[in-house]
Amino acid sequence: MKRKFLALCAATAALMVGATAAQSATTLETVKARGKLICGVSLSTPGFAAADDKGRMQGFDADICRAIAAAVFGDADKVDFVLTNINTRFQALQSGEIDVLSRQTTATFSREASLGIDFGPTVFYDGQGLLVPKSLGVASAKELTDAAICTLPGTTTSQNLTDFFRTVGGKFELVVLESPDENRAAFYSGRCEAISSDRSDLASIRAVANNPDDYVLLPETISKEPLAPAVRQNDSNWRDIVSWSVYMLMAAEEKGITQANVDEMAKREDPEIQRMLGGADELGKMLGLDSKWGYNIIKGVGNYAEVFDRNLGEKTKLGMTRGPNTQWNAGGLLYAPPVR
């Protein structure tokens, strides 16, 4: 795994050199000239990024992309989605193939320090877990002695499993599959006693099983996995646009601004709401955006709660609760800086 990571770093460095000329213009200038945002998402992860029966990309990560498009163009649909796999997602970003990566990607020290990327704010506080068949009869990951565990390459999953089982004094067999489809199929077929990934991803894997009730997510969370969008380094304006598009979703929820009531809320005299929705101070100019960039985000995709609930929430197939992805004033970790 370490050799693969070093190889990835080397490949990324080569791409950075090759992409320099193409990226002499700022990302915002390039995106505006093109007339659309190009956003990298996962191959097919229901709840986060997956095409519906009409071919429209749906999911939490897809809506983060739409929020950025709404900020830039005033139109949440001015975005093309590029499917990226785990092994090539960072190269796609560094080469300029995509403008932003919104793909259940964990922000880590080594990725930000060595891959030439910057992470935006955490959009989903996650953690690695393990999913098992109920028929296995285990209630804790500590009971998975000598179990075969399915996972994907190019992630931190393997190291987290090694650390966990070393701590509890257990052993396991790692079964690495090359694609999400192969990974799920191997688990469903019984080739592995367990499958390990971020808990949000496991909820998606369980949801698309023929009989989701046959599987149980074990209680242990064995790592911290703050998922965040990523951009290329050395373009602070673009990073600000991506970051504040995310913060606007969070701030809108905190202020009670929704997709349905944003026009009415724009009439309020609350100074921060006025700044958020373009009624005062014209903060958008500082980012190179229209003064109503915040209004356009909320009108286009709603606030954070709306994005979460329609894609991941308790009324969806994934059935996830907010957990730590709740506002700071309700005991969660979501905290948008002041819009001023």
Q: Between the CA atoms of 195, 197, 198 and 200, what dihedral angle is there, to the nearest 10 degrees?
A: -50
Residues 235-272: tens digit of each pLDDT: 999 999 999 999 999 999 999 999 999 999 999 999 99
**What letters, b where the CB count within 10 A reaches 16 and e where it falls short, cover 112-135?**
eeebbbbbbbbbbbbbbbbbbbee
What is the arithmetic mean of pLDDT over 80-97?
95
Same domain, 29 and 149: no
Do 243 and 118 share a structural domain? yes
Q: Is residue 9 part of a domain?
A: no
Say how far residue 38 (Cα) sits from the centre of its chain.
Answer: 15
- Which of 251, 250, 245, 201 is CA-nearest to residue 223? 201
**Do 212 and 257 belong to one domain?**
no
Instruction: Give the end of a domain, one of 191, 226, 261.
Output: 226
Q: How far apart are CA 23 and CA 16, in angstroms?
A: 10
| 331 in a structural domain | no
Same domain, 167 and 183: yes
Average pLDDT of span 295-322: 97
Question: Same domain for 159 and 210?
Answer: yes
Are both 150 and 221 inside the same structural domain?
yes
What digits encode the pLDDT tens for the residues 102-117?
999 999 999 999 999 9
Q: Are residues 58 and 134 in the same domain?
A: no
Could you tell me the end-to-end alpha-carbon distance of the chain, in angstroms, rounded to an integer? 44
Q: Does residue 222 sit in the same domain as residue 265?
A: no
- Domain count for the chain, please give it: 2
Tell me whether residue 335 is in a domain: no
CB atoms within 10 A of CB 174: 15
Residue 8 lies in a domain: no
Q: Does residue 39 sit within a domain?
A: yes
Question: Which domain range does residue 38 map to?
Answer: 25-123+228-322
Tens digits of residue pLDDT in 145-191 = 899 999 998 778 999 999 999 999 999 999 999 888 899 999 999 99
Q: What is the DSSP string of 200-250?
A: HHHHHHHHTSSSGGGEEE-S---S-EEE--EEESS-HHHHHHHHHHHHHHH
State residue 300's pLDDT score.
98
Top pLDDT among 96 and 153 is at: 96
**Is residue 330 in some structural domain?**
no
The domain boundary, picked from 226, 259, 275, lies at 226
Q: DSSP secondary structure string, 242-282?
A: HHHHHHHHHHHHHHT--TTTHHHHTT---HHHHHHTTSSTT
Section 52-74 average pLDDT: 97
pLDDT at 12 over 60: no
125-144: pLDDT as tens digits? 999 999 999 999 999 999 99
**Domain boundary at 202, 226, 250, which?**
226
- Residues 52 and 187 both lie in one domain: no
Mean pLDDT, the chain, whole residue set:
92
Question: Is 333 inside a domain boundary?
Answer: no
pLDDT(15) > 60: no
Cα(316)–Cα(94) distance, integer angstroms: 34
Same domain, 240 and 311: yes
Residues 298 and 213 in one domain: no
CATH number, residue 109? 3.40.190.10
Question: Do both 133 and 111 map to the same domain?
Answer: no
pLDDT at 162: 93
Does residue 11 belong to any structural domain of this protein?
no
Question: How much is the pLDDT for 338?
Answer: 96
pLDDT exceeds 90 at position 313? yes
Rounded to an integer, the average pLDDT of 37-49 is: 95
Pick the more confident residue, 219 or 19. Answer: 219
The two three-digit tokens of residue 51, written as one number: 């095409």
